[in-house]
Amino acid sequence: MNLETPVEYFYGDTLRWSFGFENPNKAAVLFACALPLIWWCWMAAWNIKNLWLRGVALLAAAATFLVASYCLCMTFSRGGLVAAGAGLLYLIGREWLGSKERPRAWGRWLPNGLLLMALIGTVAWTGLGNRSAQVASGDASVGNRFELWGGALQMAVENPLGSGAGKSGEQYMQWYQAMDRKEGYRTMVNSYLTFLVERGWILSIAVLFGFSVFWVWTKSMEGERFVTALRASILVFLIAGIFSTTMEAWQLWIFPIICGVMLLGMTAWKRRQLELGSVITGGVCLLGLCAIMAAAGAWKMVNDPLRREFGMINGERTVVALGPKTESPAVLGCVVDQMVLGGQYSKLLRELALESAVKILLGDSAASADRVMWVGGAVHLCGAYHPKHLTLLAPEKIDEKEMAVFLANRIPIQLILPEIDEDARVTFWDDVADGQHAPDFQKTTLGGVGNRIDWAWDQVVDLFGRHTLQRVRAE
């Protein structure tokens, strides 16, 4: 039995139509991609010689166009609307300016204009126009996107090999999101930046270059109305991917794949030649765009007070070290337990690094630090290691063999315990620290919290002041 309830999106009190997708923005792409093709059907119907058949075809095309427009508007997707508008503008503009099949009768443009006015009226009537106008008044969803995209560019510069599929949103929230922000992200809310952050620069540039070759080659067919409609539909798909992570849904690739295969087939059938000069021009423009993106990410990185180093932890490419951009910071190793620090543990570590001027090592390199902090259940993973300064933060209970490892360290262990004993771990460690092994421990209690130490993180930061860690390193 599936107990999961699908998420419903609203604009005000109006339910946004999602048509079975988990997000209405993805449903909008299908209708937006269909509009240029439906418009081509509408224009092609004017060339039918039989008057009655022409009337039926025009009526069917107009009705289909209006239904698709209404469905698009009911998704309340501003990105879908912008993409659809750009595709129709490209299609109609190409037809007016340079199509070989440019209509001769000016009277034909009157019903065309009425159909477009009906589309505009639908946008206004459903309320999508009002939602789109909110951008100018400081819509938070738009502002959050720009902040997220800036973080994505910095992520791409600092981790050029990529974080791995499905990891971009999590990595951003952990290591780059402002500490006072709570918005949750699964992706970069942009198909291109999501691919760049997750797959890295090399694969991203290769994919973009391959598409640019396809676009330049099929452009040689430009001028024929059907070809323009196919390219317009693909263009809609590409533009929609800017405003949301739509390209991850395979269903949305139906229109661009069909249009792309038809374009390739028609281009090959007519033996069109690939213009090398156009390919070189496209490649130069692509590299210029990548250079601008890299420069923006580098600017964000330079103005970030933290420095991050990336590596592998448990088969995942992520941050393995972070610290302030100061001279010779003290070093603290940290082995994390999210049951104690919470899901946003990296924000806590960033705060600790800045407030205490300490470089934090994670993963396998943590044990090489001046002081190592074992959190919660991580205390079971310590094993045998050379004597060094240790901190146990809300550690779980351990057995006699594990205890012998700590006692063999022969350096007093800093023990930080919560005030509220949720699972008897506080009682266990109180008995240890107050008993015969008292000389081996320096116990501190965090007031007002149980095992979720993130609620008392300010107290933990105070215990790791600059002077404490620098004294440890000096010893």
- Angle in degrees, 0-180, between the axes of helices 191-199 and 168-175, rounded to the nearest 10: 80
458 membership: H or E segment, kind and range: helix 457-463
Query: Token match 């291109």: residue?
Result: 192
Domain ranges in the chain are 319-474
By three-state DSSP, how is residue 63 classified?
helix
Of 328, 322, 295, the closest CA to residue 306 belongs to 322
Task: Report yes or no: 70 and 122 within 8 Å, Cβ to Cβ.
Answer: yes
The two three-digit tokens of residue 58, written as one number: 């025009």
pLDDT digit string (tens) for the chain, length 475 residues: 344 456 777 777 788 889 989 899 999 999 999 999 999 999 889 888 888 999 999 999 999 999 999 999 999 999 999 999 999 999 888 777 654 445 454 456 778 888 888 888 888 888 777 776 666 555 667 778 899 999 999 999 999 999 999 999 999 999 999 988 888 899 999 999 999 999 999 999 999 998 988 888 887 665 678 889 999 999 999 999 999 999 999 999 999 999 999 998 888 787 677 777 777 887 888 889 999 999 999 999 999 999 999 999 888 899 999 999 877 678 889 999 999 998 889 999 999 998 888 899 998 888 788 788 999 998 887 765 556 788 899 999 988 888 887 777 667 888 999 999 999 999 999 998 888 778 888 899 998 899 998 888 998 888 877 445 555 444 5
Q: Measured between alpha carbons, how far is 123 from 289 in angstroms, rounded to an integer? A: 33
Sheet holding 358-361, edge to edge: 306-313, 316-324, 358-361, 330-335, 371-375, 389-393, 413-418, 441-446
Q: Which CATH superfamily is domain 319-474 in?
A: Alpha/Beta hydrolase fold, catalytic domain (3.40.50.1820)
